[in-house]
Chain A
Amino acid sequence: MTLTAPPAARPAASGPDLTRAALSGRRRFTNHLATSAIWFAVLLAVIPLALVTYTVIAKGGGVMSLSFLNEDIPNSYRREGGGMGPAIVGTLLITGMAALMAIPLGVFGAIYLNEYGKQRPLARVIRLMSDVMTGVPSIVMGLFIYISWVLLVGEQTGFAGALALACLMLPVVIRSSEEMLRLVPDELRQASMALGARKWKTTLTVVLPAAISGITSGSLLAVARAAGETAPIIIVTGIVFSPNWNLFDGSNTALPAQIFRNASQPFEAAQDRAWGAALTLIVIVLGFTIIARFISSRFAIKER
């Protein structure tokens, strides 16, 4: 049998050398070069993130205090002190109102796409157009709301800002919710239908609850994105220097708009306020993002 053959008899010299050393120098060099280039690309993405985070924390932390979060915005960029209270109020109210409008509509739109439209031509068009709408520049959405709401009502209001943000959030909510509805197993729908539930009842009481964690986290990410939108706020909400709690009456302001206005000023006081506002905004946005990640990792539907 072959088992008895001594190891020394193996023809070592004639077999192909499969070790790495057999590769030609050029091929090994190219491979190393490509690998280092890929690592370098990752490094290039980390550097700006680290620098932005560091600068915002360092400069924003310097002006951060309870009074900064509370006090009114000085009506002259030159003046020292003051705070971002009105902008924080505006950001929370406007974003909240936008979420109240966009999330229910977006979820129902997703229900249409996944439960009714499926692969019909109309549903495919809506799906494509939602993706396209995600790419519509926020400034264009601002112009749209300015023309169709601000000119109609006759004044810039916080609600106009909420409308613009809602339009920006809508396609994001639709597409992320649809993805989540798609993950709900069909057996759940069939079981509910077999028990005699109508389709609307099945959808609202079985399918939606099963997907609710994913929908919530997707919507929160959309809210986080919207909270940082600047251009539409500048165009449709105007500006105030003391808090305006009424979205429907009078101008309003928000953190991103304040960052923009203060950043382009040559005065150090204004720039300090911009950094402080940036830190506040990032904390708010990151807060939403982290909550969203937590919900999606903790309560996600397990893919089978």
Chain B
Amino acid sequence: MTLTNNPPATKPTLTQRGSSALGDRIFSWWTLGTGLLVLAILGLILITTVREAWPAFDAMGLRFITERVWDPNPATGDAIFGALSFAYGTAVSSLIALLFAVPVSVGIALFLTELAPRRLRGPAVTVIDLLAAVPSVVFGLWGILVVAPALVPIYQWMHDVFGGIPLLGRLFGPVGSGRNFMTAGLILAIMVTPIITSITREVFSTVPRADKDAALALGATRWEMIRGAVFPHSFGGVVGAVMLGLGRAMGETIAVALVIGGATNITANLFSPGNSMAAVIVQQFGESTGTFTAALIGLGVVLFAMTVLINVLAQVVVRRAEARMKGSVA
């Protein structure tokens, strides 16, 4: 037999040139362009908001963040725009939120990864998903019309019991309407729990099976196994998850605007009304003009810078923790 008998008259060309190659290049550029859109939007947000807020920054200088007075329409003299009170409100409400949300989220994540019988795992995940799906404005509505009035007697009781203690008592001062830092923190806690839970759960599930089995084989109880094998392994990831939750809590606008009470106020009293940066923007933007608008946009700039910073740090921490985890499994 002759294998080289009938050579094809024309060899098929396996490298096409021309229009199709051009199509490839256009397609890759187009996808790259859409990818770059993310960077473009983030850059544009920074540039346009800073430019638009400049009149306020220019008028106030550094006092914009160190001044606690916020008076857009004073009877005499120039308007004063100091963001300190609102920054304080943002910080206090977010910290209260984390104080409640972190233990609960870690607990739920442990439940899902270590404790839950298979039958209960699905429903528990659904509960978390649904909590994440409820729009924040609905939590706000529930907060202002149901939770705030319902909590007043409890706040009053706490004020009566703890109010007399020196120093600590200042946290539990006189109670007003129930719309205050504490209520805002509690509503925020409900809203950040799903985020912290889902990331913490992913981190916990990367703990090597062998480590857990080894701990149990040495006679550890389940709790000792969690403390000795799960926690040390996932510390970095949990820190990242908490920071992501913090970023979300700081940026949450509507629910806080409804339940925090709307007062420009720096006080240790958790039962006193206050305001947060995001909430002020949405409450006052409609009636603002000129430098007032610029000052509100300035609050947005500060908020943007802070949340981006926290998110970048959190992502780096989570990524590093995940990378280390993969290394240890291999």
Residues on A facing B (Cβ under 8 Å): 18, 23, 27-28, 30-31, 33-35, 37-42, 44-46, 48-49, 51-52, 55-56, 105-106, 108-109, 111-113, 115-117, 123, 125-126, 128-141, 143-144, 147-148, 167, 170-171, 174, 196, 198-201, 203, 224-225, 227-231, 234-235, 256, 259-260, 263-264, 271, 274-275, 278, 281-282, 285-286, 289
Known contacts A52-B138, A132-B312, A137-B252; decide if A143 and B297 are in contact (CB<8 Å). Answer: yes
Of the stretches B38-46, B68-76, B266-274, the one at the interface is: B38-46
A263 and B282: CB pair below 8 A? no
A200 cross-chain contacts in B, Cβ below 8 A:
23-24, 26-28
For residue A75, give the distance in angstroms from its CB to the closest CB of chain B. 16
A281 cross-chain contacts in B, Cβ below 8 A:
135, 137-138
- 18 CB < 8 A contacts A-B: A23-B221, A27-B221, A31-B221, A35-B223, A38-B108, A108-B30, A109-B35, A128-B315, A135-B247, A136-B311, A140-B49, A148-B44, A196-B14, A228-B136, A230-B136, A260-B137, A263-B141, A282-B138
Known contacts A27-B221, A135-B307, A136-B307; decide if A55 and B146 are in contact (CB<8 Å). Answer: yes
Interface of B is mostly: helix
Known contacts A234-B282, A285-B133; decide if A140 and B304 are in contact (CB<8 Å). Answer: yes
B254 and A231: CB pair below 8 A? yes
How far does the alpha carbon of A176 sit from the alpha carbon of B133 in the complex, in Å? 16
B111 and A109: CB pair below 8 A? no
A130 cross-chain contacts in B, Cβ below 8 A:
38
Name A44's closest neighbour in chain B (CB-CB).
Answer: B104
* CB interface residues, B 20-36, toward A, < 8 Å: 20-21, 23-24, 26-28, 30-32, 34-36
For residue B175, give the distance in angstroms from its CB to the closest CB of chain A. 20
B258 cross-chain contacts in A, Cβ below 8 A:
260, 263-264
Of the stretches B56-64, B79-87, B122-130, B154-162, the one at the interface is: B122-130
A112: contacting residue among B35, B111, B254, CB under 8 A: B35
Known contacts A112-B31, A171-B38; decide if A285 and B300 are in contact (CB<8 Å). Answer: no
A30 cross-chain contacts in B, Cβ below 8 A:
221, 223-224
